[in-house]
Amino acid sequence: MNQMQSIEEFTKRIKRILITEEEIKTAIAAAGKEIDKLYDGRPILLVSVLKGAFVFLADLCRAVSVPCEIGFMCAKSYYAGTTSSGVVQITMDLDQDVKDYHVVIVEDIIDTGRTLADVVKLLQGRTPLSLHVVTLLDKPSRRLVDFEADLSLFTIPDHFVIGYGLDCGEYYRNLPYIAEYAADGN
């Protein structure tokens, strides 16, 4: 990966803020309440598919009051053409055996839907007590496989976005807001 050459280059690719820090905070507080209502005191396992969802997971887990465990997994999907082949390679698996858990998958963004469709299929095969998907962002116009989250905090148009965990070339994950990325720097 090429390293960023200057702070000027870094900054000029942040085109405009799409979702502010405050808007994210408000939406997460509401999502936490919904999760509390859904599980009604039952313990849950919040699963983050790395790396993009780590910031969202960190804030969401502090917005829920039900007892919760945290799990991480790394997944890579391989595709031929535009349909999901269902081939997902787990480069780092969960510690927990999900059959004992109400699982909530916490995702940064659903784009084509292929990664999450595969991860859900894989985890469903391990027969959890229940499984729900929460996503911070949803780009429904880009969908290639039929997949919907149970809870989606923001629907966005077809822009490449950065910040709040989402990267471009591994940079920008630490921005506290979601911004549109300017590939040409303009």
List, by residue number, the catalytic residues: 111
d(CA 153, CA 141): 16
138 phi-psi bin (left φ>0, alpha ψ -120 to 50, beta other): beta
Contacts of 143 (CB under 8 A, 6+ apart): 110, 111, 112, 113
CB of 53 vs ligand IMP, minimal distance in Å? 7
Nearer to ligand IMP, 60 or 166 (CB): 166
Buried b / exposed e over 81-104, threshold 16 CB at 10 Å, is eeebeeebeeeeebebebeebbbb
Contacts of 49 (CB under 8 A, 6+ apart): 73, 74, 75, 105, 106, 107, 115, 116, 119
Residue 78 in contact with ligand IMP, rule: CB under 6 A: no
| Cβ atoms 48, 68 nearer than 8 A | no
Q: Which stretch binds ligand IMP (CB under 6 A): 9-17, 18-26, 32-40, 106-114?
A: 106-114
Residue 52 in contact with ligand IMP, rule: CB under 6 A: yes
Judged by CB under 6 A, which of 43, 157, 160, 185 binds ligand IMP? 160
Q: Which stretch binds ligand IMP (CB under 6 A): 2-10, 11-19, 40-48, 114-122?
A: 114-122
Query: Which amino acid appears at position 49 of this protein?
Result: V
d(CA 82, CA 103): 28
Judged by CB under 6 A, which of 13, 15, 114, 132 binds ligand IMP? 114
Residue 18 in contact with ligand IMP, rule: CB under 6 A: no
Nearer to ligand IMP, 31 or 115 (CB): 115
The interface partner of residue 114, options being ligand IMP, Mg ion, none and the CB cut-off 5 to 8 Å by kind, is ligand IMP
- x/- mask, Mg ion, residues 125-164, rule CB under 5 A, reads ----------------------------------------
Task: List 72's β-bridge partners, or say none.
Answer: 48
Residues that bind Mg ion (CB under 5 A): 52
Residues that bind ligand IMP (CB under 6 A): 52, 108-116, 160-161, 166
